[in-house]
Amino acid sequence: MAESYILTGDEVKDWESLMFLYNSAIKEIMTKIEILKDEFEYTHHYNPIEHVTSRLKTPQSIVRKLKKQGYETDIASMHRYLNDIAGVRIVCSFTSDIYRIADMIGSQSDIKTLLIKNYIASPKPNGYKSYHMIVTVPVFLSDRVVETKVEIQIRTIAQDFWASLEHKIYYKMEGNCPEEIKQELTRCAEMVSVLDDRMLSLNEAIRQLSEEETVS
């Protein structure tokens, strides 16, 4: 059963203000990504981004994570210790696109990269692969500018497919997944990795053929 988190009268304004900031930060990042996508397609006639989604963590999820990590469930702890209240997920075609997109985002002059977790190079034990960036983006208010944290996840279509189904399976089993299912999920993650590698090789072969035809 989901835990309820009742805010006091004094906290409500702070909570609403903070969630407004995180939601505004998502809008800032989404706009930047949309511009980068359009610019890349205009310049290179190729779109490395399949689709982009965003989400704002729920109060229940925030409190659950703070408790799990041993922190107080107050506004100050939420703002200080959690990096993924605001989240943006970018799904691309090939693994090479992941690093290209990450570089484009990281090179933005007003984006500060706080942390990178490269689960592509070092997958989690269960086989999970994704590229995570914790960044801050300035949110321009009427009287001040607030640097606000956003977690950006970048992954391929295949990696996103596996991660989504893995999450659904664990959710249905309430975290008590039998060992044989865990092992099968890990084997599926390995298959996804092989598929990504083969699709990337195929794409590179097609690109090379296209370049040779252009030259001839």
List residues with catalytic annotation.
151
Contacts 24+ apart (CB under 8 A), 183-187: 185/126, 185/127, 186/125, 186/126, 186/127
Residue 9's alpha-carbon distances to 16, 104, 124, in angstroms, are 11, 42, 41
Asked whether 22 and 86 are in contact (CB, 8 A), the reply is yes
Q: How far apart are CA 165 and CA 47, in angstroms?
A: 26
Phi, psi of 173 (to 5 degrees): -95, 10
- Bridge partners (DSSP) listed for residue 134: 115, 151
Helices of type H across 45-156: 59-68, 75-81, 95-106
Q: How far apart are CA 189 and CA 42, in angstroms?
A: 34
Asked whether 93 and 29 are in contact (CB, 8 A), the reply is no
3-class DSSP state of 51: strand
Phi, psi of 81 (to 5 degrees): -100, -20
